[in-house]
């Protein structure tokens, strides 16, 4: 596998379920991101991790819980979601130089999430 991969590609879950989305990057990058893409809305940044440390939390509800165990892997743990959380969840990665200079973001294919 090359680039940024995401699993699963599709997920249907009930409001009481707990599930996790996984992202893996094979680009040697050190920053990773979660975005939410809903119909008729711009891409919304959710979280940013720089060298495994969370540097941005864009006022995301606590029912979304990110985890970044290393620079290549990023998870989004989901619990007690609402139907309005149904969306395409995109992961991205980029290289950060000297801790503050962020380069181009490469996106994964996304996980299409449906909450019933």
When asked if residue 45 is in the footprint of another protein (CB under 8 A), the reply is yes
When asked if residue 34 is in the footprint of another protein (CB under 8 A), the reply is no
Choose the stretch contacting another protein; rule: CB under 8 A; options: 16-24, 50-58, 65-73, 74-82.
Answer: 50-58
Sorted by sequence, the CB contacts under 8 Å of residue 89 that are 6+ apart come out as 6, 21, 34, 35, 36, 37, 76, 110, 111, 113
Gyration radius of the chain over CA positions: 14
Binding residue for another protein, selected from 21, 23, 48, 115, defined by CB under 8 A: 48
User: Is the Cβ–Cβ distance between 71 and 52 less than 8 Å?
Assistant: yes
**Residues near another protein (CB under 8 A):** 4, 31, 33, 40-45, 48, 50, 55-56, 58, 90, 94, 96, 100-102, 104-110
């Amino acid at each position: 596998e090359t680039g940024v991969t995401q699993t699963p590609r599709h997920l249907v879950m009930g409001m009481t379920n707990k599930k996790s989305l996984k992202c893996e990057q094979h680009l040697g990058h050190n920053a990773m991101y979660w975005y939410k893409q809903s119909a008729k809305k711009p891409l919304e940044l959710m979280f940013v991790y720089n060298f495994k440390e969370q540097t941005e939390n864009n006022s995301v509800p606590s029912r979304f819980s990110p985890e970044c165990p290393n620079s290549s892997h990023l998870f989004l743990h989901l619990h007690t979601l609402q139907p309005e959380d149904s969306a395409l969840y995109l992961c991205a990665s980029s290289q950060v130089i000297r801790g503050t200079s962020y380069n181009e973001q490469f996106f994964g294919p996304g996980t299409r999430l449906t909450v019933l």
